[in-house]
Amino acid sequence: MKMTSIVTTIKKVVRGIDFGIVVKAMDQSNVCSYIHEEVEIFLKGKNLINVPHVFMATHSIGGRHWILEEGAQPAYFDEECFNGGWYVLREEEVKYLECQSATSSSTLWAEKQQDGFWNLSLEVPVGDDGQPYKGRYYKSFMTALGQEIAEAA
């Protein structure tokens, strides 16, 4: 007999936001802190240090997907120790971003709309207690929107 696993999720969507909020949400769930200094030097060298951008890994255990605007050629930071690297995606280069957790299956994604604003979405599993899983993606989403997150006692 085949067993079927059912996972209940909750989805939150915020419409009509600017790319700065997308950057805050994606940045917290996406950048490795152990290479922060190297990345900062790279960004300065490419004149990207003060330009809003999102990093997307080519070597992620979780899912990372993006759709570029036609003709876009984003900067690429090569990280030799993982046989991959990070694309530095600026607003004018990208129209879709997605990060999925390998451990919780939480997913955070953003889609550029025709008016130039973005829709930011989050989907997280719901626990047996009926509460959404409040891991890294949930916290990144809520923090980017300026929401307080109550820590468990």
pTM, 2 dp: 0.82
Question: Picking from 4-13, 33-42, 83-92, which range would have the lowest pLDDT averaged per residue?
Answer: 33-42
Model pLDDT for residues 38-89, shown as the tens digit of each residue: 777 888 888 888 888 887 777 666 678 888 999 999 888 877 656 677 788 8
In this predicted structure, what is the pLDDT of residue 153? 39
What is the C-alpha separation between 102 and 100, in angstroms, rounded?
6
Residue 42 sits at the vertex; the CA angle it makes with 112 and 57, to the nearest 5 degrees, is 50
**Is residue 34's pLDDT more than 60?**
no
Would you report the helix, strand and coil content of the chain in percent, each value rounded to 5?
A: 25, 35, 40
